[in-house]
Amino acid sequence: MCGIVGLFLKDPELEPELGRLLADMLVVMTSRGPDSAGFAVYGGGTADHLKITVRGPNLDEVAKALAGVAVATKRDTHMVLSFAASAEDQVRGWIALTRPDLVVTGTGKRIELYKEVGLPRQVADRFALPAMAGTHGIGHTRMATESAVTTDGAHPFSTGRDQCLVHNGSLSNHRSLRRKLEHEGLNFATDNDSEVAAGYISWRLREGDSLTAALEAGLEDLDGFYTFVIGTENGFAVMRDPISCKPAVMAETDQYVAFGSEYRALVGLPGIEQARIFEPEPAHAYVWERN
Amino acid sequence: MPAKEQAIMVDLAVTSKRDLNAALHALPTNTNETHWRVANPEGAHALAAGVNAPVTIEIDGHAGYYCAGMNQLATVIVNGNAGVGVAENMMSGRVHVKGDASQAAGATAHGGLLVIDGNASARCGISMKGVDIVVKGSIGPMSAFMAQAGNLVVLGDAGEALGDSLYETRIFVRGAVKSLGADCIEKDLRPEHVEILSQLLTDAGVEGVSPSEFRRYGSARGLYNFHVDNASAY
């Protein structure tokens, strides 16, 4: 069992509240996943800048070494490095050469991605999620059933720029799909089946699919149980497997689209009493995008 | 008209769900505390599950999983939506969801009446064993899967694989059926079925809908009866 949540804002006035709302949703899902938690937030960004979120020890040393190249924002075990897009090779080169122990959790213009072992409340507070602003975000609370409780096993998984995915369920053909995707040039950081799903979507998007087309292709190629919530730079998507094995409930108002594994996760959202509450249909790609 | 007795108010923002359910479980069948109202349910699970007394419990808001599960004798009204497995394994009584119901509504229920004013999603009435279910909206895929007894009445449409591996449950659908599951076939709507349907529509408070608008589906009895051609296999 796991809990997943997502919040995609339509109303810019709610953007300063994104982190607080997402944190509350995440914490309600503790009963579905008390082992570890993670989230991705799409905050501010500019066309000619990049952000890399890294995780590892001695982050102050990273900030110092890259001073003048990247602006470093440390949050507990993670650090966001923000730099001119032209400096990407320099930053990546330095990490590869000097700090290969660092784990890059996410890269993009706007994405920041944090995950840790522990209760969702603790994880949200360690990274000061409630204070984060943004247009959309997704989160996951994990109850590990098959693999170890480690930070690597926590969601979201990011396998492409500004792309990330959270998954409730399990895939049965992830090994063969992984080989196929590796053949296509994708790299995976973990043995996790959900990372393969993320990689699959990234691959389809890379090949020119729209987010909707990528998800619809996934209905054919992904075998197993899943409810996915996916973030891209400007988009937010939800899809459930053809027998809707894993729970999902959504709420939509003029201000936002919200997803929760259970309705309880949505009760703190503004205007929820008037929201259109619905259960996403199985085998249907739901996509919202900002222009 | 007699004055309505004062309802017992339980605010789940103040009282814990365990305390609510414990109080409901403690009710003797001859209790005078026959009307309960629950405020701020906020999608909590197992609300009014396991009640065994002829009382009315109104839930003012959305309920989570297994609301009114295992119900006996009680009338449970959800003034909102209900999560997975509403009235699962109900034995008797009545459960009325004013909004939509999530998956597996009325699953394995043996008796009583489940009325859903909105839609019910996947696997409505899965393995139902005698309950009557009336859905005023539509139902999702794989509904009445392995349903054994009772009646499932749907005023709207039914999703894929309706009645797959069905036993003796009667299914009545007024709208379109996306597809029938294995061993589920359309059958004639005979006078005795019109009578059953008519009574269920009345019980569910449905007006202005004629039983003749429905089509009946049931088991072809090809899967669960032993076929003599297979005798040589033993």
The confidence score (pLDDT) of residue A215 equals 98
Cβ-Cβ contacts under 8 Å, A262 against chain B: 43, 64-65, 83
How much is the average pLDDT of B33-43? 97
Active-site option among A1, A2, A73, A93: A2
B108 touches chain A (CB under 8 A): no
Question: For the CA atoms of chain A, what is the radius of gyration?
Answer: 18
The confidence score (pLDDT) of residue B1 equals 43
Q: CB of B94 within 8 A of CB of B75? A: yes
Question: Nearest CA to A243 among A265, A227, A266, A260?
Answer: A227
Q: What are the pLDDT digits (tens) for B194-229?
A: 999 999 999 999 999 999 999 999 999 998 877 777
Q: Which helix (H) or strand (E) holds B173?
A: strand B170-173
Instruction: Judge: B84–A247 Cβ closer than 8 Å, yes or no.
Output: yes
- Using DSSP's 3-state secondary structure scheme, residue B170 falls into strand
Distance of CA A277 to the CA centre of its chain: 23
Catalytic residue list contains A2: yes
Domain with CATH 3.60.20.10 in chain A: 2-44+118-289
Instruction: Judge: A244–B121 Cβ closer than 8 Å, yes or no.
Output: yes
The beta-carbon neighbor of A263 closest among B43, B103, B121 is B43
The confidence score (pLDDT) of residue A93 equals 96
B22 to chain A, closest Cα gap in Å: 21
Distance of CA B69 to the CA centre of its chain: 10
Q: What are the pLDDT digits (tens) for B103-124?
A: 999 999 999 999 999 999 999 9
The confidence score (pLDDT) of residue B227 equals 75
B213 to chain A, closest Cα gap in Å: 27
The confidence score (pLDDT) of residue B157 equals 98
- Using DSSP's 3-state secondary structure scheme, residue A180 falls into helix
B54 touches chain A (CB under 8 A): no
The confidence score (pLDDT) of residue B4 equals 56
How much is the average pLDDT of B54-73? 98
The beta-carbon neighbor of A243 closest among B42, B102, B142 is B142
> Which of the four pLDDT bands, split at 50, 70 and 90, describes residue B3?
very low
How far apart (Å, rounded) are the C-alpha atoms in residues B34 and B57?
8
Instruction: Using CA coordinates, name the residue in chain B closest to A267.
Output: B42
Q: What is the CATH number of domain A2-44+118-289?
A: 3.60.20.10
How far apart (Å, rounded) are the C-alpha atoms in residues A247 and A238?
12
The confidence score (pLDDT) of residue B226 equals 73
Q: CB of B150 within 8 A of CB of B130? A: yes
Q: Where in chain B are the domains? A: 8-25+35-204
The confidence score (pLDDT) of residue B5 equals 65
How far apart (Å, rounded) are the C-alpha atoms in residues A12 and A128?
21
Q: What are the pLDDT digits (tens) for B156-188?
A: 999 999 999 999 999 999 999 999 999 999 999
At the top level of CATH, the class of A46-109 is alpha beta
- End-to-end CA separation in angstroms for chain A: 35
A31 to chain B, closest Cα gap in Å: 11
pTM for the predicted model, two decimal places: 0.93
Domain topology for B8-25+35-204: Pectate Lyase C-like (2.160.20)
Interface test with A, best of B67, B103, B157, B160 (most A CBs within 10 A): B103
Domain with CATH 3.30.70 in chain A: 46-109
Rounded mean pLDDT for each run of 10 residues along chain A, 291 residues in total:
96 98 98 96 91 97 96 97 97 96 97 97 98 98 85 95 96 96 95 95 97 98 97 97 95 98 96 95 96 75
Interface test with A, best of B42, B123, B126, B145 (most A CBs within 10 A): B42
- End-to-end CA separation in angstroms for chain B: 68
Question: Nearest CA to A277 among B62, B154, B181?
Answer: B62
Q: What are the pLDDT digits (tens) for A239-281?
A: 999 999 999 999 999 999 999 999 999 999 999 999 999 999 9
The confidence score (pLDDT) of residue B230 equals 76
Cβ-Cβ contacts under 8 Å, A282 against chain B: 122, 140-141
Residues β-bridged to residue A79: A54, A74
Interface pTM, i.e. ipTM: 0.87
The confidence score (pLDDT) of residue B224 equals 82
Q: What are the pLDDT digits (tens) for B117-160?
A: 999 999 999 999 999 999 999 999 999 999 999 999 999 999 99
